[in-house]
Structure 1
Amino acid sequence: MKERIASLVANNRVLLKNFSYLSIIRVINLLLPLVVYPYLIKVLGGEKYGLVVFAEAIIGYLVILVGFGFNIAATKEVSIHRDDKKKLGEIVSSIFLLKGVLFVASVLILAIVLFFLPEGGNYKLLFYLSLWLCLNDIIFPIWYFQGIEEMKYITYITVLTKVVFFGLIFLFIKEESDYLYVPILNGIGVIVGGVIALYIVFKKHKVAFVIPTFQALKFYFKEALPIFVSQLSMKLYVSSNKVIIGAFLGMVDVAYYDLAEKIINMLKVPQNMINQSIFPRISRDKNIGFIKKAFKLILVVNVLLSLCMVVLSEHVVVFLGGKEMLPSKKVIDILTVTVPIIAMSNVFGLYLLIPFGFNKVFSRIIVASGLFYAVQMFIIWKFVSFTLLNVAYVTITTETFVTAGTYWFCVKNGLWKPKKLSV
């Protein structure tokens, strides 16, 4: 038994190392916002804090435009060609150039939208400052480090910038009117982290920046396009919830939903770490046996996490936000159902359809799910009424739709063979 474990560790040393680094990143990204959350909700109040979250939710659509699916498509390309410096230079240069163009487009789009929304008033500045989310996507090449399976650099940079700049929140944000410091401090952290990351890529790793050919740009654009379409559709039902809540219910309700979402995201951390750790290997090896073993572990872990949260949700809400945030509890209890459902759809979509070349199939499933989400929201708007719970229920049905769709296509294309029940 010991020899088997030793052999398993030896054969997966890189995977385990990257998983460890990703664990640190996820813990930092999860815990630090939760540490400052009680302080921000107390100092800024539900209204202003909800406004900050609402602005970030709006900018989230532009983040999808800037990202354009490259975080998956480029990771795959880097992982395949990581030993070819010339090809690596072409990939990295093309992705940075494409992201740069898309970032300029995102700024122009925001300017046009805000021009036709004069009622935004003084809050326009908040939306512009919230563009740090787009900036982070363009100058922090997580796709490169994932592709070469060197997650230690991301870990060091993340820990350094997050600890320092989350600490500054306690120094600069003292009253409700200081809400603009939230995106400002985040933006400073993004710039510092991005500069360090770029130095590692171009100086330490000696990846040459080249002017890519039009054909190269076209190729990487087309490779990422189906993923972009799917992510945009996914964004419709992942982040539109807070936008809809803000528009129909108010910013305090946005704060309630945001706390519930933060807690649910805490449950998704193990799954996200597994995704980032093994996706490069799956893209390279395409080992279905390995994927099926991972599926069993993933399902058990996510079901157990969901059950634990149902029991502890009230205590977690009171601990983080106080009793005034208890409306978040019912939302959490509903959304915990999505944790194992999303874990399964990740296996069928991210581990099977995309690595095995069914990008367009995956994209069509996500687009269909976005339409399914929109139809449900329209029905609620016209015939029922928007509430926090109704929005949460729609999230469950939409995620179930995605999982069913990815599973069906995996079975149809021979990527997954369901076990036959013995009579």
Structure 2
Amino acid sequence: MARKYFGTDGIRGVTNGANMTAAMAMKVGMAAGAHFRRGDHRHRVVIGKDTRLSGYMLENAMVAGFTSVGMDVVLLGPMPTPAVAMLTQSMRADMGVMISASHNPYGDNGIKLFGPDGYKLSDEDERAIEALIDGAENGEIPLAAPPEIGRARRVEDAQGRYIHFAKSTFPEDLTLDGFKIVVDCANGAGYQVAPSALWELGAEVITLGVTPNGKNINDGVGSTAPGLLCETVVASGAHLGIALDGDADRLIVVDEQGHVVDGDQLMATIATGYARAGRLRNDGLVATVMSNLGLERHLAAQGIGMIRTAVGDRHVLEAMRAQGYNVGGEQSGHIILSDYATTGDGLVAALQVLAELAWAKAPASELLHRFEPLPQLLKNVRFKGGKPLEADAVQAVIAEAEAELIGKGRLVIRPSGTEPVIRVMAEGDDAAQVTRLVDRICDAVRVAAE
């Protein structure tokens, strides 16, 4: 059953648009609060946010919604998404909320919900909350009696708690003394905690994207715009550059020569280190269908397995939990390390990469580029309606391309989950062949869509 409000990662949209208004946020608070009121104890929700201007509006609206159904609210202020997940669990809250649209521009915002275990909600929970949101329109959510209305308070030591947690993931026998690190916080949720944690571990820290004004989150900075970070690393003679996204659950690294290191290379680095230490569960990791075939071949050569999921860190985490893996992630930089966190954590992932650098005593340019990526090409074909992928002519072209790539590459063809677009990706040993096959499939889809 299609969900009405929730997408692949919570509820997201343009602020003061259809699903991202103060009224909607209040209804989400009422609905989620009612859903998680289980038992007769005093219920609690923790709320964090990134640095978007609209965060104030949505935060206040959600406080009104939660307190109206009898839940106490703990406000964390600007905090990374993984910090909210961690604090939900450590503070024994009944649920957690992160107000953020991640790497989107400041005009967008979103609401991510966590259960008491710190994990994102199941489909069943989201469907139940959606039904209650619609019920809120008709007064179907019971409000708390006056003596039971919730209270709201702000926690002043939330940042310190998360910094302490993040530092605890770095090996005690290693140090960042002597490291010069440029950290780009995207003018987002990690702008205070990430530089502080790195400095307290001994590094010399140069900061970018740490002056949020409500409108500059992800604006020319952060993991989706690493150009300034690349320039600064080279100009300052730094050993490494670290880029987070708006809610700090994504990581991109830049080596000392100014070259970007993506999530595939970082997963290979972390998994190799874990395997060496005997910590890699199931002798493998979880990645998505978009991770480069070069990663899979590199891991196989070391006896490390890899399973693939659909695109989205949610699918990665589901596979990790179901099959017992402790390393997983996406090429885009969402890296999940389940020994420490219930969601992607850019800072914790960065500390694991830094631990490998400190152990190896090698430059980032030598250590982090673990394999040569195969040529990979992704193109999008927009269509107006129908199901062009089901056309016989399209299926025939895809079958021919798959046969041509056997043993030399692979195809990933899928409809977008958010817009009328077919995504066509191919990768293989021969770049010209990859381009030819992608173009041929795209042409077939366009004809079928006419």
TM bracket (short chain): under 0.3
The structure where helix makes up a greater share of residues is: 1
Higher relative contact order (CA 8 A, sep 6+): 1
TM-score, normalising length from structure 1? Answer: 0.26
Rg (Cα) greater in structure: 2
TM-score, normalising length from structure 2? Answer: 0.25
